[in-house]
């Protein structure tokens, strides 16, 4: 049970209506198009003065984090851990385009400052005044999974009581054009999104439990069985296995889309009471499995 | 002390050279390799940097990689250092390990080279994939003789490698992995050279950390990795223990995206957290390998935090960025390996070019090489943009 944590809040900004629930989701168009995020009214979450200097990914990350925190009534978490596959793409693209097209002089630092992936976590920290542990995981295939593992370690150590996990990735028209030259996403809508979860070491207010997780580049079957058996389980104990295609029809393709999968699992566990779900992730280099269960309320 | 992690292997490539021996010799000789750029193609080549004095082509040769395959310089540097580390630790090929790397620029050198071709020329467009941090780390994982069953990449700007080492330590304590190879890699790119230049924090002369007249930092590049395992596991396989990782701490300054708070509260909290994990008190620290970039803001903020933590019992303090330049996301790994070399050789390198004490600080850094000095515990600081502050504590293998 070393990898256990309670989920007390989950929010998502995606191509679906802002902060909507699973029962209201509509499948995105199946052809390979870019479907942008549907953003909430950021004024509720971000001071408009500060928001003017922020790219979409930063605004989404702060808004979704504050939405999740308000759901569980926490003003400031003990720690913030971010997962992002490609970081602050629009600011990176803007600085790079200027440098490549206009040469290496008279460059404005503001885009550069906001272009590092950890800008997301640090801007959330600044907006919440959170001085605790703060880290950012950027393995593009498993950014959410790396960040979630970090959350579990932190809670397990007992140095914090709760952690905000925020994931975010964005797509720009320019990047879409650059990437799509090879028809990279045949039949899959390309999108973007930000998700936030509040994890706690205590079951109070929880609607789901992360029982354990494993991520591996080799021997996925062996690693899955090892994880299950270390929790006294076998594959028959899994009620539902959620695969990437199960949720990507609602959120589209983006690097940290598995966080949206985790959001869907949270919704399913909240609605149906105690069940055991395996969130399965797959990439060109490996597999991840997150074992989740519901909370028995009676 | 039950949380101690044994460090059984190390590898490094930086402006100081290739490998532990060369790095140590150049530190002892006090040779400063900071110089105008030779290999990075930029209109700012007059800016002094801590560049690895090998062309991409020479790095391919060093890595025995096929030049027909496009590989980021970050990956090439990482391959050199990570291979040294696994060899140094005497790991048997096929050993199941996790690889944790800290990087921010990743494959940006390839991205900026082919940026105009992306979306137009299909031959080059696929290279945009190399920009991704996971992909650039795969090249390192695939080049190792160990079975890399797990990879993760951490990007907290200039503290990335320190956080990668801390995350690696947690992986070992969790029992998930017996052996973790952790560190970081970062090559110089036009992108971040211009970024730092636009912020006007680059010194046009070799940097002078902690000096009252300091004018900024010099960028650097390199990679370093360490092999970590539990003390028990290291003893069981009879591995030589170079040093121990006994503490790691992380806190956020939450003050400003690029500036450190005047009281260095994030730095102080990170150092205190590392001491808490190690079960040590400030008086146990014999040397602080400071973040010490040479910018006015960092050195004052870090210095104030050091004064708050250590009071009038300041240990030896110095920055080795006067040798390596600031290798951004790899800095924490380079300085981890340098700290280990210091502990093993009972040596502290001089903080070069320091002349005048900062009026805001009550201490001077080490101005001359110190030899035969007892180093039980060394603290290594890494602070990043966005206030991502981390501190690691390395201890002598004889300290327990």
Which tens digit of pLDDT belongs to each residue from B242-285? 999 999 999 999 999 889 999 999 999 999 999 999 999 999 99
Name chain B contacts of A131, Cβ cutoff 8 Å.
251-254, 265-266, 269
Question: Other CB atoms closer than 10 Å to residue B44's CB: what's the count?
Answer: 18
* Residue A112's pLDDT band (cuts 50, 70, 90): very high
Least confident of A153-167, B125-139, B195-209: B125-139
Share of chain B above pLDDT 90, in %: 93
B191·A103 Cβ contact <8 A: no
Residue from A84, A135, A144, A146 whose CB has the most chain B CBs within 10 Å, to mutate = A135
Q: Please tell me what DSSP assigns to residue A27.
A: P
Predicted local distance difference test score (pLDDT) of residue B180: 98
Predicted local distance difference test score (pLDDT) of residue A273: 66
Q: What does residue B24 show for φ and ψ, rounded to 5 degrees?
A: -65, -45
For A146, name the nearest residue in chain B, comparing CA atoms only.
B152
Residue B400 has pLDDT above 60, yes or no: no
Which of A112, A131, A135 is closest, CB to CB, to B163? A135
* Residue B399's pLDDT band (cuts 50, 70, 90): low
Q: What is the CATH number of the domain that holds A210?
A: 3.40.47.10
Give the total number of structural domains in chain A: 1
Residue B134 has pLDDT above 60, yes or no: yes
A122·B112 Cβ contact <8 A: no
Residue A4 has pLDDT above 80, yes or no: yes
Domain range enclosing A37: 5-294
Residue from B155, B190, B191, B192 whose CB has the most chain A CBs within 10 Å, to mutate = B155
Helix, strand, coil percentages (3-state) for chain B, rounded to 5, are 40, 25, 40
* Residue A271's pLDDT band (cuts 50, 70, 90): confident
Residue B390 has pLDDT above 70, yes or no: yes
Name chain A contacts of B250, Cβ cutoff 8 Å.
133-135
Distance, CA of B338 to CA of B12 (rounded, Å): 9
User: In angstroms, what separates the C-alpha of B370 from chain A's closest C-alpha?
Assistant: 35
CATH T-level topology, domain B246-395:
Peroxisomal Thiolase; Chain A, domain 1 (3.40.47)
Name chain A contacts of B104, Cβ cutoff 8 Å.
116-118
- The per-residue pLDDT of chain B, averaged, comes to 96
Predicted local distance difference test score (pLDDT) of residue B1: 43
Predicted local distance difference test score (pLDDT) of residue A182: 62
Predicted local distance difference test score (pLDDT) of residue A284: 82
Name chain B contacts of A103, Cβ cutoff 8 Å.
43
Residue A1 has pLDDT above 80, yes or no: no
DSSP letters for B281-348:
-GGG--EEE----S-HHHHHHHHHHHHHHHTT---EEE-THHHH-B-GGGHHHHHHHHHHHHHHHTEE
A181·B151 Cβ contact <8 A: no
A134·B122 Cβ contact <8 A: no
Q: Which residue has the higher pLDDT, B127 or A278?
A: A278
Report pLDDT digits (tens) over B338-387.
999 999 999 999 999 999 999 999 999 999 999 999 999 999 999 999 99
Predicted local distance difference test score (pLDDT) of residue A178: 84
For B129, name the nearest residue in chain A, comparing CA atoms only.
A179
Among this protein's residues, is B291 annotated catalytic? Answer: yes
**For residue B157, which of B384, B389, B336 has the smallest C-alpha distance?**
B384
Which residue's entry shows tokens 């925020």? A166
Count of residues making up chain B: 400
Q: What is the pLDDT averaged over residues A170-195?
A: 83
Distance, CA of B55 to CA of A170 (rounded, Å): 34
pTM > 0.90: yes or no: yes
CA atoms within 13 A on the CB side of A66: 21
Name chain A contacts of B191, Cβ cutoff 8 Å.
95-96, 99
A105·B43 Cβ contact <8 A: yes
Q: For the domain B5-236, what is the CATH code?
A: 3.40.47.10
Residue A159 has pLDDT above 90, yes or no: no
A153·B44 Cβ contact <8 A: no
Report pLDDT digits (tens) over B54-94.
999 999 999 999 999 999 999 999 999 999 999 999 999 99
| A127: three-class secondary structure by DSSP | helix
For B133, name the nearest residue in chain A, comparing CA atoms only.
A139
Catalytic residue among B49, B63, B158, B322: B158
Catalytic residue among B291, B322, B342, B377: B291
For A230, name the nearest residue in chain B, comparing CA atoms only.
B176
Predicted local distance difference test score (pLDDT) of residue A13: 98
The ranges assigned to domains in chain B are 5-236, 246-395
A109·B120 Cβ contact <8 A: no
CA distances from B373 to B315, B316, B345, B376 (A): 12, 10, 9, 10
Is the fold of B5-236 the same as that of B246-395? yes
**For residue A166, which of A3, A277, A11 has the smallest C-alpha distance?**
A11
Q: What is the pLDDT averaged over residues A5-27?
A: 96
Distance, CA of B231 to CA of B241 (rounded, Å): 8
Which of A108, A141, A177 is closest, CB to CB, to B119? A177
DSSP letters for A90-107:
HHHHHHHHHHHHH-SSS-
Q: What is the pLDDT averaged over residues B138-154?
A: 97
């Amino acid at each position: 049970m070393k990898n256990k944590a309670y989920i007390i809040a989950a929010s998502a900004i995606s191509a679906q209506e802002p902060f909507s629930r699973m029962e209201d989701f509509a499948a995105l168009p199946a052809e390979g198009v870019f479907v942008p995020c549907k953003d909430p009214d950021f004024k509720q979450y971000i001071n408009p003065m500060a928001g003017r200097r922020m790219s979409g990914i930063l605004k989404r990350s702060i808004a979704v984090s504050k939405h999740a925190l308000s759901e569980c009534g926490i003003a400031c978490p003990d720690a913030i851990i971010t997962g992002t596959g490609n970081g602050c793409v629009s600011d990176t693209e803007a600085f790079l385009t200027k440098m490549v097209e206009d040469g290496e002089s008279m460059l404005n630092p503001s885009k550069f400052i906001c272009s590092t992936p950890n800008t997301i976590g640090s801007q959330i920290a600044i907006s919440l005044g959170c001085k605790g542990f703060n880290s950012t995981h950027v393995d593009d295939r498993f950014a959410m999974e790396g960040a979630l593992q970090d959350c579990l370690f932190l809670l397990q150590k007992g140095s914090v009581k709760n952690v905000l996990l925020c994931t975010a990735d964005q797509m720009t028209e320019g990047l879409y054009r650059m990437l799509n030259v090879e028809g990279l996403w045949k039949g899959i809508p390309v999108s973007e999104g930000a998700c936030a979860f509040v994890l706690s070491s205590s079951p109070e207010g929880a609607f789901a439990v992360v029982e354990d997780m494993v991520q591996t580049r080799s021997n996925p079957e062996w690693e899955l069985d090892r994880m299950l058996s270390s929790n006294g389980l076998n594959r028959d104990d899994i009620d539902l296995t959620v695969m990437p295609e199960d949720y990507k029809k609602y959120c589209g393709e983006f690097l940290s889309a598995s966080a949206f999968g985790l959001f869907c699992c949270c919704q399913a566990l909240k609605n149906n009471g105690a069940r055991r779900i395996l969130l399965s992730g797959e990439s060109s280099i490996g597999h991840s499995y997150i074992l989740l269960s519901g909370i028995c309320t009676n | 002390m039950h949380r101690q992690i044994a460090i059984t292997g190390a590898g490094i490539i930086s402006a100081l050279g290739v490998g532990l021996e060369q790095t140590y010799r150049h530190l002892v000789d006090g040779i400063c390799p900071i110089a105008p750029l030779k290999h990075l193609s930029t209109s700012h080549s007059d800016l002094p940097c801590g560049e690895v004095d090998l062309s991409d082509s020479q790095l391919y040769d060093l890595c025995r990689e096929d030049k027909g395959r496009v590989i980021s310089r970050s990956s090439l540097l990482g391959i050199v250092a990570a291979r040294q580390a696994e060899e140094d630790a005497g790991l048997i090929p096929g050993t199941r390990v996790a690889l944790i790397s800290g990087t921010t620029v990743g494959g940006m050198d390839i991205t900026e080279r082919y940026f105009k071709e992306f979306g137009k020329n299909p031959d080059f467009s696929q290279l945009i994939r190399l920009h991704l941090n996971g992909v650039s780390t795969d090249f390192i994982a695939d080049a190792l003789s160990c079975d890399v069953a797990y990879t993760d990449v951490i990007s907290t700007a200039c503290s990335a490698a320190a956080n990668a080492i801390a995350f690696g330590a947690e992986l070992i304590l969790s029992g998930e992995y017996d052996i973790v190879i952790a560190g970081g890699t970062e090559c110089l790119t036009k992108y971040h050279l211009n970024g730092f230049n636009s912020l006007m924090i680059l010194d046009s002369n070799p940097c002078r950390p902690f000096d009252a007249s300091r004018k900024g930092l010099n960028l650097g590049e390199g990679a370093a990795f360490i092999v970590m395992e539990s003390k028990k596991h290291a003893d069981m396989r009879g591995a030589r223990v170079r040093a121990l990782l006994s503490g790691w701490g992380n806190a956020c300054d939450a003050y400003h995206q690029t500036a450190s708070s005047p009281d260095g509260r994030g730095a102080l909290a990170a150092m205190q957290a590392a001491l808490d994990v190690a079960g040590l008190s400030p008086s146990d620290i014999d040397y602080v390998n400071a973040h010490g970039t040479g910018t006015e803001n960092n050195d004052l903020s870090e210095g104030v935090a050091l004064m708050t933590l250590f009071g009038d019992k300041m240990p030896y303090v110095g920055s080795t960025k006067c040798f390596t330049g600031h290798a951004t996301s790899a800095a924490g790994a380079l300085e981890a390996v340098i700290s280990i070399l210091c502990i093993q050789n009972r040596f502290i390198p001089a903080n070069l070019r320091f002349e005048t004490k900062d009026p805001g600080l009550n201490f001077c850094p080490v101005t001359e090489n110190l030899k035969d000095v007892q180093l039980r515990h060394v603290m290594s600081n890494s602070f990043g943009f966005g206030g991502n502050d981390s501190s690691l504590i390395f201890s002598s293998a004889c300290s327990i």
